[in-house]
Amino acid sequence: MGADLSRLKVLASGVFCLILTMGIARFSYTPMMPIMFDQTALSKVLAGWLATINYAGYMLGSLTAMLVSNLIIKDRIYRLGLILAIVTTFMMGLSEEPWVWAVSRFVAGFSTASGILIGSGLMLSWLITHNHRSEMGIHFSGIGLGISGAALLLWFSESLSWSQQWLAMGLLGVFLAIPAWRWLPPPDVSGANTSGKLLKDNPPSKRFLKLMIWAYFCAGFGFVISATYIVAIVESQPAMEGKGELAFLILGLCAAPACIIWDLISRKVGILNALLLVYAIHALGIVLPTLNDTLLFALLSAGLYGFTFVGIVSIVLTMAGRFYPTKPAKLMGLLTISYGVPQIIAPTIAGYLAEISGNYNAALYMASGFVILGFFTILVIKKYAGQDIDKLER
């Protein structure tokens, strides 16, 4: 009973961490865009640039996760990330200066990476060290809970100004940080599990690594357009005005259980088959709003998108951590850099495309096309480098 309680507390700390660093510090910007378009000088182009700046900070955090191998230092960066997530959320509501927003988004990006990469690496390291199954579905459910929680908070605070809504989210972040900080134990640096068995890394082949980096790059391109603009896409349709936060809420509600479901699917059909399935559904979900401009298609798109993007992240990052049980964030960081590069480029391109065309269709076609490229890359991995995954699934 004691071991199960410890496991649940550690996983819960990760859930609270991701609600804060992903749901609030990162994703709350998405449902906040329409009200900021109305009440501030935020434009579509500036919104795209702020998203790009956010991902530049995320890239710095990913690089840090990859290069820093000392678990004690990683633990300190994780805790610093919790503080930065709160501070940067307050910053967004305390000024209308674009440079303040830019600094906030950059540092928030770093805090997001510290939560999802360094935090996830520490959680996975704890699970492996304490002889628990190395599945992170419960942990990654924090992404979906954070998204839906931010949407609900904004929904119930519609009477507040844009500034007051940011400050309310910052206050919520203070309470989330307490269990995220207190329930994660200091890392074990012994290099062995609790049974005394030394942990051993199983690095993948160069062929597998190159192909997976490209496949995850494609997923990053597919992820970021909808992540940044899903609410604005819904709100841009006159018949769906005021429904953007509903779409974002559904996205989060579908994302919350998705990681646990994809854990079970991966266990049943294998990691690569699960990735093929999740990429295919992801590509369809992204492009649905271009096929029909009704609310039903918008909400279905949001649901499929939420269900799949966290599935991709969960499957890939858990897989990466299992290759390196002594330093799980090593490969997580490298893959996330490949996931993050298109996220620096794509929001700005999408902003300009939307400004020129008056809608987001071209950007969504571009995003879905990249996910399809990723799907075919995984087919190549399955044919020519599947033995690397076989090592993990034995």
Distance CA 264, CA 259 (A): 9
Distance CA 212, CA 303 (A): 26
Confidence (pLDDT) at 19: 94
Distance CA 27, CA 143 (A): 9
List the Cα angle 366/370/371 in 5-degree steps: 120
User: Per-domain residue ranges for the chain?
Assistant: 2-393
Q: What residues are paired with 192 via a beta bridge?
A: 198
Helices 244-255/258-269 angle, 10° precision = 40
Q: Give the type of residue at 256.
A: A
Q: Which bin fits 200, alpha (ψ -120 to 50), beta or left (φ > 0)? A: beta
Match 């030394």 to its residue by tokens.
198
Distance CA 176, CA 305 (A): 26
Match 């271009």 to its residue by tokens.
290
Confidence (pLDDT) at 194: 60
What three-state secondary structure class fits 200? Answer: coil
Q: How many helices (H) and strands (E) does the chain have?
A: 16, 0
* DSSP run (H or E) holding 117: none
Q: What residues are paired with 198 via a beta bridge?
A: 192
pTM: 0.84
Confidence (pLDDT) at 316: 92
Look up the CATH superfamily of 2-393: MFS general substrate transporter like domains (1.20.1250.20)
pLDDT along the chain (394 residues), means of 10: 75 93 88 88 86 87 86 93 97 94 96 91 84 76 86 81 94 96 85 65 88 95 79 72 79 89 92 96 92 85 92 90 78 85 79 80 90 96 87 68
Burial class of residue 3 in the structure, from the number of CB atoms within 10 Å of its CB (0-12 exposed, 13-18 middle, 19+ buried): exposed
44 contact partners, CB below 8 Å, separation of at least 6: 37, 232, 351, 354, 355
Q: Give the type of residue at 333.
A: G
Match 């964030």 to its residue by tokens.
329
